[in-house]
Structure 1
Amino acid sequence: MILYADSGSTKTDWALKTEDGKILTWKSGGWNPYFLSTQQMIEEGKDFINKSYLENQNESSDYLEEYLYKVTKVQFYGAGCSTEENRKIVCAALETLFPQAKKIEVAHDLLGAAHSAYNDSENQKGIVLILGTGSNACLYNGNKITQELTNLGFWLGDEGSGGFLGKKLVIDFLYNRLSKEIHYLFYQKYKLNREIVLKRAYQEPKPNEFFASFVPFLYKYKDDSFVRNLIATTFDEFLNRIEEEFKDLNLNFYAVGSVAYFFEEILKERIAKRKGNLVRVVKSPIEGLVGKS
């Protein structure tokens, strides 16, 4: 029985493939080893085992727990799992939660994104993007990753991501750079001020999730000229970073993540400006990962 996981910084999508071919799915918080320790992951894992409600079943914790004790293999693709040290943090948590599993594999979420976004028949060189709470990119040849974008994480990088978009929006709000209408609408919805923002940014955990929480506001007003320009400029920063390292953007692009999904039109436009072609956008890679096993 195989357990799959695709983990970003905000959430983890889990899917369990049972012996009779049934697929059970649920969600938990993000398991990014840059933000969570092994022990925190274990505690969260115990919590979802005991309390999770399966998304595609009229059953909850008892039903799930019965199956999880039969897991023999775990495949985990996660944000922050690009280094051996970080993979060990996640692996230790999975080994504790699933001691009966004979094989546990932890890999970078870029590889999971590539496996999910590419069709089995595609073997040409392309660029795979992750655009969710965080962002990343790689060159992929249909078989393996040949080059990864240098990733500096939320505070120093993550251009194009939900966290980056939200951060730009909040900064423009606090500096009174937003258009009058958008400033008013934003304040009416969130009632933010400088003190609240600084506390959430520097004193509380997961600031990336806090800033990414404003993406639905951007989506709602994406046709406003100011908001559209903010989104387009953010995507341009991301693509500029990619161009610095990958040089040639006259390639097929494959994107994974909610930000790519909700702002696909703008992303496609910005990629086309660089002679690239956005072939496919996948909102959540977990289904593709399970389906290709």
Structure 2
Amino acid sequence: MKTAHLLAATYPILAVLAFAPAVPVLSSVLCLTAVLAVGALWTRALIREPLTPVARLGLTVVAGLISLPLTALVLYVIGLRIEGRALAAGLAVLATALGAYAIAGKPVDPPADPPADPPADPPADPPADPAHPGHWVGPVEHGGTTKTPRLSTAAAIGVPVVLALLIGGTATVVYQRLPHPAEPGYTSLALAGWAAGIAGPVAIPRAGLEVPLEVSSAGEPEATADLLVRIGDRAAAPSRPVAVTAGTRALRVHVPAPADGCLHPIRISLGAASTVFYGRGPFPARLVTRRGPVPC
């Protein structure tokens, strides 16, 4: 496959990864394909000599895997958020640079020389040393060179591994030495149990409801907060103090039935944290006013 064709196949894959919704199996396959394509571009840009298939595959895989943390590190250095679209855009820029370098560095075939009289006896190939098996690289008229396949394979696989360790180690050390501000503390209040599945107005019986709650807190000192239930804009009962400690704990709160059958927001608050749902009482859907009951 030509380098231009490889680039033309890489761009649509990166576009799908950047803008299409994630699909569990397909997205992983596309990501692996994009990584291998970028690794192949690394190989074409940096290696100008023949390689064994195993060496080329190893170099392609390792170089492609290096590209992901390298792109993320560059995004972090320039102050961009590390996310799917930014990574895909960074890989596209990297693929473009590698493809352009590979195409620009491709040797151009020289013009054909005029036909000459064939030599009487072509030079014989130099004898191979049985103790050091090798393959012939280069044209015969330039003497050629002998390459050892094992050494070429080890270099092609070992050099990217060393680079990956250096890049990954440097990124880890730099990240650990950067200042890490403490996470802000929080206290949250949420409906739990059956109340967590509320999806519409709740019919509150005359005796009221026992609503289960879940309180979560982290990064804040232990304190005491007021638990208050409001029906509409009125407090349903006096507030009661509740100890807020680190971790998650369960609470239950009694919500009395509204005085009418109209729909009201039921707000439950614990200090600054709160949650809300809507409910109506078991009475006719009328509001009691000074002029008498009127429809809600």
* TM class, shorter-length: under 0.3
Higher RCO (CA < 8 A, seq sep 6+): 1
More strand by share: 2
Q: TM-score, normalised by structure 1?
A: 0.21
More helix by share: 1
